[in-house]
Structure 1
Amino acid sequence: MDITLRPHDDHTNGWSAILPPRRAHATLRQKLDADWLIIGAGYAGLAAARRLAHNRPNERIVVLEAGEAGDNASGRNSGFAIDVPHNVGSSTAELEKAVNYKRLMKAGIAWLDGIVRERGIQCDWSEKGKYHCAAAPQLAETLLRQHAQELTTLGEPYEWLEQAELARRLGTSFFHAGIYTPGCILLNPAALTRGLADSLPDNVTLFENSAVTRLERGRMIFASTDHGAVSARQLILANNGSASQLPGFERQMFNVASYASLTRPLTAQQRARIGDVEEWGVTPANAVSGATMRYTRDHRLLIRQQFDFTPGMRVDERVRGRIREQHKEVFLARFPELGDVAMEHFWMGFFSITRNGAPRWGKIEPNVFAAVGCNGVGIAKQTIAGVTLADLACGVENELIADMLELGAPSRLPPRPFLDVGVKAYLAKERWVGRQEY
């Protein structure tokens, strides 16, 4: 079938813009035969490629990436490798599988930590933990208290922090209360994705700027691009939102856009106004209405806020302009004393959501495997999804495969236009429930 749905790249990713220039891997311009074809060079695809290379060192693995590593969705997130599950909106569905997610996410971080150290990947890898915060007292007493109870049940260390202590650590008195957990890793996601892509084993060949335009599945896999083609015995789909158009994935996930702004580095004088605090990361009690925030190692502030339903994975420039202004308001609500700090970068990224929070993971056909439907916060989750998928495909024992299977499968979505109405209504409800988090 022809492949037409792919994310629109606005070429404005702030995380990669602050890095040194990188030379992309070659575009596919030939016909190749391979043992394995992986579509997508994000966290799942790169982890699967690396694990396959270990499991099958004498087999040829080809990875096709529509854009460039670091400028795809994996390089556009907020840069949190999260180790424990938490609520994203007002829903606590992920917490129902907390034990499984805990094992998986910690394993994903450990896997990445080993590669970052072994390969010397410079991505500002920082063991600073994270704060999960609420501005509204009622959300602190509901969602945050429930999160604290779950952490206690899991045996995970945490600190409950009231407004004054949060203000001292974060430099803002915006939040009523928060929970600090020490195991989260903060990083530059574009730098990490670049480093993973540029350090793949010798039997893996990555082609960038090589979007698949036609895919045929059968006894053999055939994938065509604008300038080349690959035939392979086995296929791994790690293309997340773009997978929704493929047979076998209909009405299982929908795509949303998220937006981020990154300031210029704060001057010494500006840093002094907020207490010259250390690097930190904040996730909001309600991510749909609140803002995910980072204070980076090089003294920049990041705001990621606003979600939009984007089935075509494109966003009108008028919408982008409105959200840019919205981010300035969100920033000043938290840091009114930093009105002279300029926003240097603004960008968007797309990710996929399933109705019940379960990923689309596992064996799809005898020679087709998938790790898609990330539901956000995917650095650790999608990394271990790729590792375990490669083991499943190769018949290698891995106790974490049982945890992945325990997460279940996506529940079926309604057809459009009912889906459009339902998603927009859900987002509107979440914004209303968490309106004080804005």
Structure 2
Amino acid sequence: MANKNNINVKRLPVDPGPAAWNSILPKARTYPLLREDITVDWAIIGGGFAGLAAAKRLSQLVGNDSIALLEASALAQGPAGRNSGFMIDLPHELNSESYAGGHAQDLRQIKLNRAAIDFAREMAEEYAMPKAVFDPCGKVTAAGTAKGVAHIESYRQHLETLGEQYEVRSADEMKTWTGTEFYQKGLFTPGAVMIQPASFIRSVADGLSERVAIYENTPVVSMQLGDTHTLSTPQGKVKAKNVIMAVNGHLQSFGYFPGRLLHVFTYASMTRPLSPQEIKRLGGSSDWGILPADPMGTTVRRFSDYQGGGDRIVIRNHATLNQSIEAKESNMQRAAMLQDRSFENRFPMLSGIEMEYRWGGRLCLTLNSVPAFGEIEERVWSACCQNGLGTVKGTLSGMMAAEQAVLGKSELLDLFLDYPNPSRLPPEPFLSIGANATMRFKEWQAGLEL
């Protein structure tokens, strides 16, 4: 534990570009900015997947205790509205060559991931989310090169040892499905869910709003810890007996886990809506998503939005380490160049289509791929560091923080706590120089998979 009584937050979150998944939706319901002093039993800092899961699980466990959730920006404007919308049940370690880890580690992670997806599914059913928002359609990992095909074969063999179901898809099947001849092979697994992340976040918040007091544009700028904790925001204060911090890498701005968190940005572009002629020229299905066989490759998603967002394509690739927790304009420019090239390689029949949105999103990783989790001060719990799988691991961390805070022990929590502490990072400037050089080299190695 850090043993701090007074914490001044070093910085506030900065997200480059618009949260496109949120921008294409109709105008959102708004929640008030905190403009007064309030007292609650539970305060949750952060309104993404982890914060909302913590709020939902708390609401199931604490009876009539009062709960307040404080979001620094608007809901779904931060990282929760900037991901690719995959809830993945299988191993997905970004630090590995093919997503796989050790056998026992992967079996444990699968069980935990599926528990989080089940929790999300229960919320989707309770809040009547349509298929366009929560679609349990599985996922396809795909390759466009011989090297990528070798990655798929390695992953397929790993799934065999884990006893997991899969289907191999041929180049012809991939073309029929996607409309492009780029992909030589695909590997389908049935347990993943594809979501419209901003719609999901909005729907959960709406569903919780009668039970949980939600405040938007209300960043916590300082904390005073004591018998009752006091969270100061720009225009009001929250006194709370218990606090759950669901801020992912922003946790380090509060002074926790110094020298142990990696702050990585990933980048994406979204096209304008395709015209009927362009849709016909492309062919294929209107809703699909592909994860790259190479972890440094390109994620692609095509969707037809049920709320009028149009038939669009999302391209996501490029990653940078920014220990300042703020991306540079040069990072965005390079990402745009890479994504335009990746789009052209996959969709030559759509050459010249404009990208309507470009953005970056914050990830938090640790060197040994473990969460920054647990009671970090008396009655202050961290549900942070999702290691690049924020939809699922964020949901899981929020659930587990609530269970640890209220129950102290549960079967799932015991499984989740079976991790070592985050490893210490190399010193600067060696860390940033080395990590960014390594990522650029791996992007070069990925070749056309990027």
Shared fold by TM > 0.5? yes
Which residue type is aligned with residue 136 of structure 2?
E
Q: Distance in 2 between matches of 1:425 and 1:355?
A: 16
In structure 2, the residue matched to 1:223 is 231
- 1:22 and 1:398 map into 2 onto residues whose CA distance is 36
Q: How far apart are the structure 2 equivalents of 1:93 and 1:301?
A: 24
1:66 and 2:72 correspond? yes
1:205 to 210, 213, 218: 213
Q: CA deviation at 1:181?
A: 1.0
Per-residue Cα deviation, 1:175-197 (whole angstroms, up to 9, x for no partner)? 33221112211121011111112
Q: Is the 8 A contact 2:16 2:361 kept in 1?
A: no
User: What are the superposed Cα offsets for residues 262-314 of structure 1, whole Å, 9 maximum, x if unpaired?
Assistant: 112323322222333241111112233x1111011342111011111122232
The answer (yes or no) to whether the contact 1:258–1:307 under 8 Å persists in 2 is yes
**Matching residue within 282, 298, 319 for 1:274:** 282
Mapped contact 1:364–1:370 kept (Cα < 8 A): yes
SS of residue matched to 2:9: coil
- Matching of residue 257 in structure 1 with residue 257 in structure 2: no
Aligned partner of residue 198 in structure 1, secondary structure: helix
Distance 1:422 1:239, change over 3 A: same
- Listed one character per residue, the Cα deviations across residues 233-280 of structure 1 (whole Å, up to 9, x for unaligned) are 111111011102334411121211111111123233222223332411
Q: Distance in 2 between matches of 1:132 and 1:265?
A: 25
Residues 3-402 of structure 1: matches in 2 within 5 Å?
3-10=9-16, 12-91=18-97, 95-96=101-102, 97-122=105-130, 124-141=133-150, 143-200=151-208, 202-288=210-296, 290-298=297-305, 299-395=311-407, 397-402=409-414
CA offsets per residue over residues 389-417 of structure 1, 9 Å max, x none? 21111116532112211243311112322
2:420 counterpart of 1:408 = yes
Q: 1:125 to 1:423 in 2, by over 3 A?
A: same
Checking the alignment, whether the CA contact within 8 Å between 2:373 and 2:397 is kept in structure 1 is yes
> SS at the partner of 1:347?
strand
Q: Tell me the distance in 1 between the aligned counterparts of 2:393 and 2:368.
A: 16
> Can you list the C-alpha shifts for 1:187-244, whole angstroms capped at 9, x where unaligned?
2101111111222164421111011111233433221111111121111111011102
CA contact (8 A) 1:282 1:292 kept: yes
Do the aligned partners of 2:100 and 2:106 also contact (CA within 8 Å) in 1?
Answer: yes
2:177 aligns to what SS in structure 1?
Answer: helix
C-alpha separation between the residues in 1 aligned to 2:261 and 2:12? 14
Distance 1:245 1:366, change over 3 A: same
Look up the SS of the partner of 2:239 in the other structure. strand
Residues 315 and 378 (structure 1 numbering): CA distance in 2 closer, same or farther, change over 3 Å? Answer: closer
CA deviation after TM superposition for structure 1 residue 87, in Å: 4.3
Deviation for aligned residue 1:124: 2.5
Shift of 1:352: 0.8
Letter in 1 for 2:303: T
**8 Å CA contact 1:87, 1:286 repeated in 2:** no
Task: For 1:92 and 1:253, locate their aligned partners in 2 and report how far apart those are by CA, in whole Å.
Answer: 22
C-alpha displacement of 1:165: 2.4
| TM-score, length basis structure 1 | 0.94
Note if contact 1:95-1:150 (Cα within 8 Å) is conserved in structure 2: no
1:325–1:433 CA distance, 2 compared to 1 (3 A): closer
> Separation in 1 of the partners of 2:133 and 2:272?
17
CA separation of 1:254 and 1:88: change in aligned 2, threshold 3 A:
closer
Stretches of structure 2 that go unaligned for 5 or more consecutive residues are 1-6, 306-310
Counting aligned pairs with the same residue, the percent is: 34
